[in-house]
Amino acid sequence: MTEKEGGLAFLPLGGTGEIGMNLNLYRLDDTWLAIDCGIGFSGNDTPEAEILTPDPTFIMEQRDKLAGLVITHAHEDHIGAVAHLWSRLQCPVYATPFASVVLRRKLGEARLDQKVKIHTIKCGGRFNVGPFDIEFIPVTHSVPEAQALALRTPYGLILHTGDWKLDPTPLVGPPTDIDRLREIGDEGVLALVGDSTNVMTQGPSRSEAEVREGMTALIGSLKGRIAVTCFASNVARVETIAMAAQAAGRTVVLVGRSLRNLDVAARECGYLSGVLPFLTEQDVNNLPDDQVVMIITGSQGEPRSALSRIASDVHPNVALGEGDTVIYSSRMIPGNERAIMQVQDNLTRRGVTVLTDRDAMVHCSGHATGDDVRTMYELIRPQYAVPTHGEWRHLTAHAALAQEKGIPAILLEDGDILNLAPGVVEVVDTAPTGRLAVDGNRLLAMNGDVLAARRKMLFNGIVLASFAVDDEGYVIGEPKVSAPGLLDSDEPENIRVREEFANAIDEIPDELRMDDQSFREAAKTALRRALGRKIQKRPLVDVHVLRV
């Protein structure tokens, strides 16, 4: 088995594909290191499960060899699964001050804050996790304190970029530390393991400073109420909106729980210090329409978000209408288009003007463009490129950029174990992978029985029948049949099914009636037959036999 071998290996467990939930593993001789532990949102593909995590079984089964979990930044797809999976991993966690504050709040909600040891590491800090010698390198991203990692091992140096971009004027936090990256390149790098999300965009990244200019001009030109929606964790963007509002003589109100949480975390870490404290949504109606800017959650069309409620006119405190404007300071995450369009349509129906980054310079991506990635390869000059975090076409485009620089690239699927050193850099083994669904306070396997049954119920309905029998197995009274989500109880079809089922169970041979299990199976077959003829669906079927 691979974990007994020496050397250095890399194993991604969840970053590939449309729903990128990062859980990366490195093995140095017989010790593992985890980097990031994120959730994904399932979108329309799996309506039975909204929030997903990677299945950590592979590393859980050898957690005595797991030295720690390092968080690169505080985005949900990198940090969101820690509270869900930590009890399976049970290792110390390492993060920057801002990511630590965000994580501690999440762990508090899960009542794990007393159990999890979080080591707060300063931005750009160097620290050891077991045998791994790790250096944080500050990079710009759409959340404060994103860090690339330099992993120094006896077998070579790995640069793990995390999410990053180049922006000479990020406005909150320092720009990507180009000089340090070049010095690391000078040291000699075995492999660059890097983000691929935005490599298909050409040209250099746009800057947050351009967004601030665009936002200030736009907000200054508008009358009526203004609401701006963006990701809560994008502290630079929240500051941009607040500064633009202040310049226009407008007061800023936060609407939505995740924004209030992030505001507390950001101010605790010293961010937003140049911005007046935000008011809450209860204050909106005390302010004249042209003296308020609301920053609001719901840029992805999330049905329970504040913006979706306002668009449907069911928000308890805030209403928007004729003469008001909603600005989307965000991108559409693939899979969310329909939900976003529906919210925008509802807003337009109320007379609200909807503006997006197509109308004004109100958004820029937090991920490296193709040009940024080229620059990174010029700085790092690795022997190998390992594209991660993206769909297959992004990984392929990233590989092409590396090869343009003469650097061989290796494409991995989740679960591939890549030997980095010594010897040939190649996939040597695969680990089992999968997804878990967050279901209330439980985690369910996406390919397990519970969710399979729920999928079947969702599309084909469920039919439950129950009847009582005496100790010789003869039916007493009438069977009951219910089919929620399939048939109304007083509909003629339901009555027909019940009658056909009653006749069919009367015909079950005597020898099957004495054993509960075989009686139940025979009754299920009878129920399926009674249903099948006319409904032309294959619902989930269950039968309860009560022996009295």
Q: Which residues bind Zn ion (CB under 5 A)?
A: 75, 163
Closer by beta carbon to Zn ion, 80 or else 479: 80
- Amino acid 305 reads S
Q: What is the smallest separation between the CB atom of 141 and Zn ion, expressed in angstroms?
A: 6
3-class secondary structure for 321-371? CCCCEEEECCCCCCCCHHHHHHHHHHHHHCCCEEECCCCCCCCCCCCCCHH
| CB nearer to Zn ion: pick between 27 and 389 | 389
3-class secondary structure, 507: coil
163 vs 357, beta carbon nearer Zn ion: 163
Short-list 338, 252, 331, CA closest to 296? 252
Strands 435-439 and 292-296 turn out to be unpaired
**20 versus 56: smaller Cβ distance to Zn ion:** 20
Q: Sheet containing 279-280: which strands, arranged edge to edge?
A: 279-280, 251-255, 292-296, 226-229, 325-328, 353-355
Indicate the residue among 135 and 163 with the shorter CB distance to Zn ion.
Answer: 163
Which among 358, 388, 274 has a CA at the least distance from the CA of 21? Answer: 388
Q: Which residue(s) pair with 9 in the sheet?
A: 27, 419
Q: Answer for the pair 125, 134: CB distance below 8 angstroms, yes or no.
A: no
Instruction: Closer to Zn ion by CB, 319 or 332: give it.
Output: 332
Give the nearest distance from C-beta 75 to Zn ion in angstroms.
4
Q: Please, which residue, 163 or 239, has the CB nearer to Zn ion?
A: 163
Which tokens belong to 358?
């197509």
In DSSP notation, 231-297 reads -TT-HHHHHHHHHHHHHTT-EEEEESHHHHHHHHHHHHTTTTTTSPPPEEGGGGGGS-GGGEEEEES
Contacts of 247 (CB under 8 A, 6+ apart): 216, 219, 220
- In the complex, least distance from residue 93 CB atom to Zn ion, rounded to whole angstroms: 17
**Omega into 316 within 30° of 0, i.e. cis?**
no
Question: Distance between CA 231 and CA 236 in Å, rounded?
Answer: 10
Residue 367: CB minimum distance to Zn ion, A: 8
Place of tokens 């340090």: 180
Q: Using the minimum distance from each CB to Zn ion, give the nearer residue, 163 or 263.
A: 163
Of 75 and 435, which CB lies nearer to Zn ion in the complex structure? 75
CB of 146 to Zn ion, least distance (A): 7
Query: Residue 192 or residue 245: which is nearer to Zn ion going by CB?
Result: 192
Are the beta carbons of 255 and 295 closer than 8 angstroms?
yes
CB of 397 to Zn ion, least distance (A): 19
Tally of CB atoms within 10 A around 17: 15
- Rounded to a whole number of angstroms, the minimum distance from the CB of residue 373 to Zn ion is 15
The minimum distance between CB 48 and Zn ion, in angstroms, equals 27
> Min. distance of Cβ 51 from Zn ion in angstroms?
17
The alpha carbon of residue 177 and the mean position of all alpha carbons in its chain are separated, in whole angstroms, by 27
Q: How far is the CB of 98 from Zn ion (least distance, A)?
A: 13
Q: Are 274 and 238 in contact (CB under 8 A)?
A: no
Least Cβ distance, residue 497 to Zn ion (angstroms): 52
Distance CA 379, CA 371 (A): 13
Q: Judged by CB, which is closer to Zn ion: 99, or 545?
A: 99
